[in-house]
Amino acid sequence: MESACVLVPRRSTCLCRQRGELSPHQCASAPAQATASPAACYQELRRFPAVTHAALGSTAGGQTFLLYTECSRHDVPRHRLLRFSRHYSLQRTAGGLAVSRAALSAEFHNQLLSQDSPSGQHRAVLSRCPWQGHELLEVWGSSGRSHSVDLTALGKHGKVYAEGPFACLAWSHSEAQLLYVAEKSRPKPRPPGPWDVPGAARLVEEDEDEGEQFVYHEDWGEALSTRSVPVLCVLDLVSSRLSVLEDIPEHLSPGQALWSPDDRGVVFVGWWHEPFRLGLRSCSNRRSGIFHLDLASGYCELLSAECGATCSPRLSPDGRRLLYLEGTVGGPHRQCLRLRMLTWQTRQTVTVLEVVQEPTEAFAGIYTEELPPRCWAADSRRVVLSTPQRSRTDLLLVDTEAATVTNLTAESPEGCWELLTLQWDLLVATCSAPNSPPSLVVAVLPPAGQELPLCWVPVEDAPTVPGVTWKTLTVQPPCNGQSPTAHSTQAFEALLLSPPESMAPHPLVVCPHVNYRGSLGFGQASITSLLSRVGEQDVADTQLAVEQALHSEPLDPHRLALLAGSHGAFIALHLLAREPKRYQACALRSPVSNLPALLGTSDIPDWRYVSLGLPYSFERVPRAEEVATMLLRSPIAQVAQVQTPVLLCVGGRDRRVSPTQALELYRVLRAKGVPARLLWYPEGGHALTGVETEADVFGNCARWFLQHVGQPWRDRMGRHST
């Protein structure tokens, strides 16, 4: 199979994955010479690093700044993630910014977290000692290392949370204390020794722990299986004293903490975990609140709404305003969020930006999972954030007093922007597109009212993938008399990646992505339109996008393939059953195939009800008619119609969609004589991440398509089929 077009029907999470993650379909759209070997193609596309962290430091005079970045890149031959730092000098001039390299790149090992102090004079680094496994918290400055504390040896808590929704590492304003989140220390049962006599008397404290060794401890689900009971910890750098904050209510799990303006308390997000925990990864609909804990009195105050879903508290530079995101508890796992702001002294809260039901050309709503760690401008009035806007991810500037929004990147050719940091009115961001890896850029934020046009200066530029172009297709659903609401006929979008026109007609690889009419970036009404219509509206939208592409683009209708994951795989399986002869090959990752079977195996059982328009409560037990409805909407119920060869890739540790879903599907396909192959990655989770795993999935998907899609059919005159 020569180079293929790639169609991604979506209502947008973003044009390409954040921080340069490579999506498997990019190989299919690379030029023919690059796809001769899937492994060579993968290594070529993986050589571009992703910027994962950035921090700015100011020198005397305030005209020269030091930019520190942390990057990562897959070292495929060695099956490891290569992590390294880069340093730059930014000089403010009359013409804008001048950028130069300040030092050579340097690899770093075993680092888990790093955070610069407010002045930029110190850097806190959390690392793990490779030979002992101990976690060390160190502070570095211009004179070298000033502090080093072995947190594990102190025994005050379990492992520090270095990533995920709870994680943080926050300096106090005085730069004398550090705040972070760790797992609560759990007593370890003493293993029996050879000197223990059966039936002999034991110490009282040993008797208290008897029978506790195999007690089940809940965790927070997919990708958070080691997160159960988080605690807030404070390290005093003056006294080297480590404290675990004890006054947080027991029904809350704290995270995303920062210091209050006077350093006398801490602000944190608290998630309710009673009566039991539901999966938190990629779920902004869990009940949570913004709290303030006074360190002197131990009083814990709720600052946000009683029954909301909040996250990302960000304090303004002047310490007067606290910004955060707020959504609705329950419903779809990702929603349009409102932007809220609290005045610290008065405790009065206002809504800066409300939930957008129907998008406008100027603003489609806020859908990001978190605000950038540093998002405030120096005037403590404006903030910058990145969020999906239709099929783009743009940078938006919000005036918190005027409640206005300015899209800073709407006119840029790149479709995916991410803000890394905003300090001293210097913006550091990455921009990318489906055919272009992330480039690091900087800009000066002009005064209020003069933000456009913004002049971006490249720091590290990444070349586009040669021979690949992309565009956005607008797809208009037909009017359905049974559902005359606005969202039932609202247009959605699909992205088309294409190789050179000279190679037409192209095969087409269709990549369904959550959720079409029902995905992010097009208003809350669009998101809720999918509820009760899963397996119908999303499938119909995908097929409509395919038909439009086949009619308007130079594509070969006899060589179509499906590449999808999770709910996208659910849609792909429905397509295979509905049109058994349409697609020649299918490759699926972590597929959803049997909805009722997920009720007792998924970390998000609530979605099984909500997706069908049914209410959910913690005490709910499924009724027979509800299980029957779920089964009728499941691809497994129509799998007898599938004829297309199917490749299945699953992770043995997937907590969101049990790998037994794919195993059941694999067995049924094999029994019917349909070509099927199952790849089982024992340590893989739902996203199938990891250097070796991602490379293997990519290569197997590419080879599956090369094997089953085949070469173009030509008639006796040598002409391509139409």
- The tally of CA atoms less than 13 A away on the side-chain side of residue 306 is 0
Judge whether 35 and 45 are in contact, CB under 8 Å: no
User: Which helix (H) or strand (E) covers residue 696, if one does?
Assistant: helix 691-708
706 phi/psi in degrees, rounded to 5: -60, -35
Single residue among 324, 355, 386 that ends a domain in this structure: 355
List the 50-58 sheet strands across, edge first.
50-58, 64-75, 80-93, 96-107
Domain assignment present for residue 46? The answer is no
What is the H or E stretch that residue 544 is in? helix 537-552
Q: What is the DSSP letter of 166?
A: T
Helix (H) or strand (E) holding 574: helix 567-578
- How many domains are there within the chain? 2
pTM (2 d.p.): 0.93
477 contacts 522 by C-beta, under 8 angstroms: no
Looking at every residue in the chain, the average pLDDT score rounds to 91
362 located within any domain: no
> CB within 8 A of 61, min separation 6: which ones?
none
669/199: higher pLDDT: 669
Task: Check pLDDT > 50 for residue 76.
Answer: yes
Residue 147 predicted with pLDDT over 70: yes
**Residue bearing the bigger pLDDT, 255 or 481:** 255
Residue 557 lies in a domain: yes
d(C-alpha 562, C-alpha 570), whole Å: 11
Question: Tens digits of per-residue pLDDT, 8-62?
Answer: 875 333 333 333 334 444 444 444 444 468 999 999 889 999 999 999 998 867 8
Q: Where are the beta strands (DSSP E) in 354-502?
A: 382-389, 392-399, 404-407, 416-423, 426-433, 436-444, 457-460, 469-475, 492-498
Over its C-alpha atoms, the chain yields an Rg (Å, rounded) of: 27
- Identify the CATH number of the domain in which residue 166 sits: 2.130.10.120
CATH at 687:
3.40.50.1820
The last residue of one of the domains, among 355, 387, 420, is: 355
Structural domain range at position 337: 113-186+218-355
What pLDDT is attached to residue 487?
55
The predicted-structure confidence for 208-245, as pLDDT tens digits, reads as follows 567 888 999 999 999 999 999 999 999 999 999 999 99
Structure tokens at 718: 């040598």
pLDDT exceeds cutoff 80 at 134: yes
* Residue 353 CB neighbours (<10 A): 21
pLDDT tens sequence across 494-546: 999 999 877 789 999 999 976 589 989 999 999 999 999 999 999 999 999 99
Specify if 374 maps to a domain. no
**85 belongs to a structural domain:** no
Whether 271 and 288 have beta carbons less than 8 Å apart is answered as: yes
To 10 degrees, the CA torsion angle through 599, 602, 605, 608?
Answer: -70
In a domain, 24, yes or no: no
Are residues 477 and 351 located together in one domain of the fold? no
pLDDT on residue 25: 44
- Indicate if 154 and 289 belong to the same structural domain: yes
- Judge whether residue 721 has pLDDT over 50: no
| pLDDT tier, 706 (very low <50, low <70, confident <90, very high otherwise) | very high
Work out the average pLDDT over 669-681: 98
Query: Could you tell me which of 78, 85, 13, 16 has the C-alpha nearest to residue 49?
Result: 85
Q: What band does 282 get if pLDDT is binned at 50, 70 and 90? A: very high
| Same domain flag for 351 and 478 | no
Tell me which residues are annotated as active site.
Answer: 566, 654, 686
Yes or no: say if 607 and 592 are a contact pair by the CB < 8 Å rule: no
Where does a domain end: 332, 355, 378? Answer: 355
Residue 483 has pLDDT above 70, yes or no: no
pLDDT of residue 9: 74
Region of residue 341 (left: phi > 0; alpha: psi -120 to 50; beta: else)? beta
User: Across the strands, what pairs with 266?
Assistant: 259, 293
| Chain mean position to CA 712 | 38
500 occurs within a structural domain: yes
Reported as a single tens digit per residue, the pLDDT across 585-643 is: 999 999 999 999 999 999 999 999 999 999 999 999 999 999 999 999 999 999 999 99
DSSP 196-211: PPTT----HHHHHTTT
